[in-house]
Amino acid sequence: MCGIAGFVRLDGMALSRETDRRILRTMAQQLAHRGPDDEKTFLWTNVGLSFRRLAIVDLATGAQPLRSDDERLALICNGEIYNHLDLRSRFCSSQHFRTASDCEVLLHLYDRLGLAFLDQLNGIYAFALLDKRRQKLILCRDRLGVKPLFYYCDANVFIFGSEVKAVLAHPNVKSGFHWAEALSYRNSMNYPDRDRKLSSFFENIYQLPAGHVLEIDLASGAQKARSYWDPRSIRRDAEPAQDESVYIRRYRELLDDAVKMQLMADVECGIFLSGGIDSLAVARLASRHKAIHAFTVLSQSTITNGDAPTACAAAKFFGLPSHMVLYDWRELDLDPSLWRKIIRQVETPIAGAEQFYKFLLHAHARKRVPNLKVMLLGSGSDEFNGGYSKSAFNTPDGPSWAEFEKNLRYRDRESLLHRSGDWSAYANASLDDEWLISRDFLAEQTGAPPYDGAFDAYRDIYRHMLQMYQLWHEDRTSAANGVEARVPFLDHRIVELTYLVPKALHEKLFWDKAILREAMKPDLPDEFRLRPKTPFFIGEDLRYTRRLLYNLLCAHDNALLEEALVELSETARVVNKDVLWSLFKKLPDDPEYANVDMVLDLVNMGLLAAMGRTPLEACAWEGPLPVTEVAIDDWSAWRQKFGISLVRRAPTLDRDSVLCFADGIRIVCSEAGDPRLKEDGDYYILRHNALEFALEPQLKPWVRFLRHVDGAQSVAEILDEIGMSDAEVWKHLEEAVEYNVLCVVSPPEAGAQASWSAL
């Protein structure tokens, strides 16, 4: 993992050794975090290249730019060529190699095969290759877009870099924050659209799409971009359809080979072990090839949704050193400058808890194991194995493949309507799930070919989203800490295999990632292999993660909000300042803090807009990491002893506290046939007869506790009487006290029981 940047004078004028080299160094400095081990610049006539190196393979001689023996070719490359040894033996056995670097093989392959050599690569890469004889600069991005590459072009200069900030650092760049793109992205990202462009969130700065190559003629300034890989072009009839067991076996073989190849490193490797099937599969296979470290987020959310205990058990089962990294939302030092640094590094407004968790997890991993520079991830499995088929594109109750297909047809139609502009009553009229105006007509208006099936539309959504979200932030949060993120599930051979699966087998193999779960049957116990998908940190206790973000916004007298408002309401005049303040102040009124993401998105936009105006301004945060590592030998014992402390926050509440109900509180049970409530037998909390909280069915232990609150017994006495542990009710106790449902009384007050009745 490295950082590349450079520029071309499109008028052919030679670069200045002094002025332009200084610009190249400034651009490279913006990428210092990506490559802390070395920096080089290179000028040739009207081309300038800069490179920052993170030394992972060939630590001694792998410096870049790399050059051919005749000096005709020069290369800077961010990434890894996993099959470089095989390529050397097959195509370049007679060639002289100056280094043991995996990237040097690109020069010799290009010299022999031209750009057709791209078909031979297995790796993650974004590179710039200078061909002096042909007067060409060639930019290329790997097939799935694991490695980033941005560019800016005007009449005089073409500028590129691994990150937006490197492009912004060039004095010719005229760019501002793209408010319209940022404000509309969340609304549009879930619609299939094969031709959707990749935004950078900055005006006039673009991403080179995954699987694309761009040639620049150095003499004329002409540019030509083309796709060199697109899995949609894979013909399912290219080979006879196979039995599902054949695809499962081939999937297992390819995944094992991909994991083995991606452990290629002369440094230590780790894995983010979340507790889901994706990271469990990679960890299991990796543990058989190399000693690696496992790192897991330990928070109230990951404890409750089962990720943390599963990851803890799996690390022990696989024999991996386990690093459980504690994020205590009450105790974290949430310095606003830390978030400014994270936003500056990730360069996207769609940033929140996931980026916060992963940035600090990478930082802790690098500090804990200083020679660790490679981190394996489970990203890419959901996108091509159907991981969201039961959740994002289905009904919460009784999800099915039929409902999945129906939902994708709806999303496809919505996308066509957006693009065609046809929002008339005719286009929206339907009967029995069939529309009045045909899909074929709408597709004709937009030039969109029909999808062969729902799963094809699903993959189009996520091939785009991978580049705009998952791979974007996985790259930035790792690179910010001098770590390279690697993604075995995005080995192009695995992706191509999923495209070869005939439509008739889609439901069998891609419903809830069946192809992966079946492939790992020989390797994982069922408790790991069949564990239901749980989105990272999302679940019953999502509210605690949202409170962490709220605390971040509140830190230092709302410093982040105040700073963002300068851009939002004064410089850019994007939002109504009073409305945003009101939204922020009302966040604590909702126990779930549901709108915190919206407020944080707008704050992020303001911070990025400021970065666009002052791209060279560095972030000052250099504080200690606000997370700690916890040693856990016995999960159950640790959970009982320490787990409840993650939610304990009311200083007046402890096991000796005596509780009573606040004034006006009434707890009711709905009766059969009551039209106002969801299910008969469910419990609800009313305040002065107004419905305030619903007690979900899984909260029956909490209801049992509430039945014993009488203003006389202590918490400990009630727990002993009903035979419950602290951990079963404590977070609900804390919330009840915080939201004035229960009060801590001293001395005990008589007559403090709530009324219990049917509604």
Percent of the chain's residues with pLDDT above 90: 63
Q: Is 50 exceeded by the pLDDT of residue 382?
A: yes
Q: Is 80 exceeded by the pLDDT of residue 292?
A: yes
184: Cα separation from own chain's centroid: 19
d(Cα 741, Cα 290) in Å, to the nearest integer?
A: 53
What is the model's pLDDT at position 748? Answer: 47
1.25.40, 3.90.930, 3.40.50, 3.30.429: which CATH number matches 647-758?
3.90.930
Q: What are phi and psi of 433, to 5 degrees?
A: 65, 15
User: In this predicted model, what pLDDT tens digit does every residue of 427-439 receive, in sequence order?
Assistant: 778 887 788 888 8
What is the model's pLDDT at position 100? Answer: 87
State the catalytic residue, choosing from 2, 77, 269, 743: 2
Segment 515-537 shows an average pLDDT of 93
Q: Is 50 exceeded by the pLDDT of residue 759?
A: no
Specify the higher pLDDT residue, 735 or 339: 339
Specify the higher pLDDT residue, 715 or 697: 715
Fold adopted by 3-175+204-229: Glutamine Phosphoribosylpyrophosphate, subunit 1, domain 1 (3.60.20)
Compute the radius of gyration of the chain from its Cα atoms: 28
Specify the higher pLDDT residue, 672 or 517: 517
Q: Specify the residue for token string 């200084």.
A: 22
Q: Is 70 exceeded by the pLDDT of residue 753?
A: no
Q: How sure is the predictor about 312, in pLDDT bands with cuts at 50, 70 and 90?
A: very high
What is the model's pLDDT at position 507? Answer: 96
Lowest mean pLDDT, pick from 102-116, 180-194, 250-264, 422-436 = 422-436
User: In this predicted model, what pLDDT tens digit does every residue of 561-590 receive, in sequence order?
Assistant: 999 999 998 888 999 999 999 999 999 888
As beta bridge partners, residue 141 has 126
Which DSSP letter does residue 59 get? T
User: In this predicted model, what pLDDT tens digit does every residue of 187-237 receive, in sequence order?
Assistant: 888 888 877 789 999 999 999 999 999 999 999 999 999 999 999 888 766
Q: Is 80 exceeded by the pLDDT of residue 465?
A: yes
What is the model's pLDDT at position 755? Answer: 64
Q: Is 60 exceeded by the pLDDT of residue 676?
A: no
What is the model's pLDDT at position 56? Answer: 93
Do the Cβ atoms of 47 and 75 come closer than 8 Å? Answer: no
Long-range contacts of 619-623 (CB under 8 A, 24+ apart): 619/337, 619/340, 619/341, 619/344, 620/337, 621/335, 621/337, 621/338, 621/340, 621/341, 623/333, 623/335, 623/337, 623/338
User: In this predicted model, what pLDDT tens digit does every residue of 128-163 receive, in sequence order?
Assistant: 999 999 999 999 999 999 999 999 999 999 999 999
660 among known catalytic residues: no
Q: How sure is the predictor about 751, in pLDDT bands with cuts at 50, 70 and 90?
A: very low
Domain 248-387+462-529 has CATH 2.40.50.140: no
Q: What are phi and psi of 164, to 5 degrees?
A: -60, -40
Q: Is 60 exceeded by the pLDDT of residue 672?
A: no
d(Cα 592, Cα 167) in Å, to the nearest integer?
A: 39
What is the model's pLDDT at position 673? Answer: 47
As beta bridge partners, residue 661 has 742
Segment 492-503 shows an average pLDDT of 95
Q: How sure is the predictor about 646, in pLDDT bands with cuts at 50, 70 and 90?
A: low
Domain ranges of the chain: 3-175+204-229, 248-387+462-529, 401-457, 542-613, 647-758
d(Cα 321, Cα 318) in Å, to the nearest integer?
A: 9
Which DSSP letter does residue 352 get? S
Q: Is 60 exceeded by the pLDDT of residue 651?
A: no
Segment 342-347 shows an average pLDDT of 96
CB contact set of 147 (below 8 Å; sequence gap of 6+): 78, 79, 124, 125, 126, 141, 162, 475
Mean pLDDT over the full length of the chain: 90
Give yes or no on whether 3-175+204-229 and 647-758 have one common fold: no
Write the single-letter amino acid at 302.
T
Q: How sure is the predictor about 1, in pLDDT bands with cuts at 50, 70 and 90?
A: low
